[in-house]
Chain A
Amino acid sequence: MAAGKEIRTKIGSIRNTQKITKAMEMVAASKMRRAQEHMAAARPYAERIRVVASHIALAHPEYRHPFLVERETRNIGIIVVATDRGLCGGLNINLFRCALQAASEWQEKGVGLKFALVGSKAGAFFRHVGGEVLAQADRLGDRPVMEQLIGVVGAMLSAYDKGEIDRLLIAENRFVNTMSQHPRVASLLPIPPAENTSMHHQWDYIYEPEAREVLDEVLRRYIESQVLQAVVENVACEMAARMVAMKSASDNAGELIEELQLVYNKARQAAITQEIAEIVSGAAAV
Chain B
Amino acid sequence: MSTIHVNIVSADEAIFDGEAEIVFAPALMGEVGILPKHTPLLTQLRPGAVRVRLGAGEERNFFVSGGILEVQPHMVSVLADTAVRARDLDEQAVLEAKQRAEDTLAERRKEGVDLAHAKAELDEALARLRLIQYLRERDLRH
Q: Does A205 sit at the interface, judged by CB under 8 A?
A: yes
How many A residues face the partner with a CB closer than 8 A?
26
> Would you list which residues of chain B between 36 and 94 have a CB under 8 Å from chain A?
39-44, 68, 70, 72, 77, 79
Task: Check A48–B79 contact: CB distance below 8 A.
Answer: yes
A59 to chain B, nearest CB (A): 7
Chain A residue with the shortest CB-CB distance to B15: A44
Query: Which candidate, A67-75, A214-222, A265-273, is the interface stretch facing chain B?
Result: A214-222
State whether A206 touches B29 (Cβ < 8 A). Answer: no
Interface assignment of B14: CB less than 8 Å from any CB of chain A: yes
Prevailing SS type, chain A contact patch: helix
Interface residues of A in 203-262 (CB under 8 A from B): 203-209, 213-215, 217-218, 221, 225
**Contact A209:B9 (CB < 8 A) given known A48-B77, A204-B40, A214-B42:** no
Partner of A51, one of B12, B14, B43, B77: B77
Q: Are A208 and B28 in contact (CB under 8 A)?
A: yes
B79 touches A221 (CB 8 A): yes
B3 proximal to A (CB < 8 A):
no
Q: Is there contact, CB below 8 Å, between B41 and A206?
A: yes
With A59-B40, A208-B29, A217-B44 known as contacts, the answer to whether A52 contacts B77 (CB < 8 A) is yes
Cα A203 to Cα B70 with chains together (Å): 14
Q: Which residue of B lies closest to A224 (CB)?
A: B11
Docked complex Cα distance between A218 and B44 (Å): 8
Beyond contacts A48-B77, A207-B42, A209-B28: 10 other A-B pairs, Cβ-Cβ < 8 A, are A45-B12, A52-B70, A55-B70, A205-B41, A207-B41, A207-B43, A209-B29, A217-B44, A218-B42, A218-B68
